[in-house]
Amino acid sequence: MSESDINPDQAFTFLRNAVRAMIPSNAGSPVPNPNRANLLAQSPRASHPRCRVCAWPGHQSNNVHKASACRDAIITTIGFWEDVLANVQVSYKGHLPFQMAIQENKVTVNMIYSDAPKAIESGGMEAVIVNRLAMNYLKFQRLWASLGPKVSYIMEGDRDVIRYENITQALNDYLLAKNSYEQIVMKAEPNTR
């Protein structure tokens, strides 16, 4: 999905629907493109818990050297965030209330670990959407960070990692006020070394 194919109304509708799908009770609904879905919105079931290798829901791998299911799940999630990025860029340029919501969004470390969205003090639907996007994006970043050295075994070469890095750089600017996941975590934890 490229930015030039989307108008601001379509972009905002996409983001609203993406946030709606991030609610665990709605996560099971069919997605328009199963190759570009937020798999992290699916809450793990007792019959199918998170993967032992990558911690993504929806599959199981037992060995990091044979983790094609992990790669598929991660690439599907990266594709979802690429679509979110394209729609965030269009909404930011063409929808002033959304732009203001991004500029006023306050990101906290609590957003990483909480499943309960915080109450929005001011702003409309745009503020809620930006807050939920940031919260879920931080969870995606947390899971990626937890992969650590396994990334080089799971992902197929630099192309996959570059896709991740491209969305991370841009979404950090929009959703995390130009901070990285690591910076947000470090601000919350005093350096004890």
User: What pTM did the predictor assign?
Assistant: 0.87
Domain count, the chain: 1
Assess if residue 44 is contained within a domain: no
Assess if residue 106 is contained within a domain: yes
Please name which of 77, 99, 92 lies closest in space to residue 31, comparing C-alpha atoms: 77
Half-sphere exposure of 54 (CA within 13 A, CB side): 29
Contacts of 139 (CB under 8 A, 6+ apart): 40, 112
CA distance 39 to 183: 25
Assess if residue 52 is contained within a domain: no
Cα dist. 148→5, 16, 35, 54, 151 in Å? Answer: 35, 32, 24, 10, 6
pLDDT tens digits, one per residue of 136-147: 999 999 999 999
pLDDT tens digits, one per residue of 20-70: 888 766 655 555 566 788 888 766 665 567 899 999 988 899 999 999 999
Q: Give the domain extent around 23.
A: 3-38+60-188
Orientation angle between helical segments 96-104 and 125-147, nearest 10 degrees? 50
Assess if residue 144 is contained within a domain: yes
Assess if residue 45 is contained within a domain: no
Assess if residue 47 is contained within a domain: no
Decide: helix, strand or coil at residue 48.
strand
Please name which of 79, 80, 98, 102 lies closest in space to residue 174, comparing C-alpha atoms: 102
CA distance 35 to 19: 18
CA distance 65 to 144: 17
Assess if residue 70 is contained within a domain: yes
Mean pLDDT across the chain, nearest whole number? 85
Assess if residue 54 is contained within a domain: no
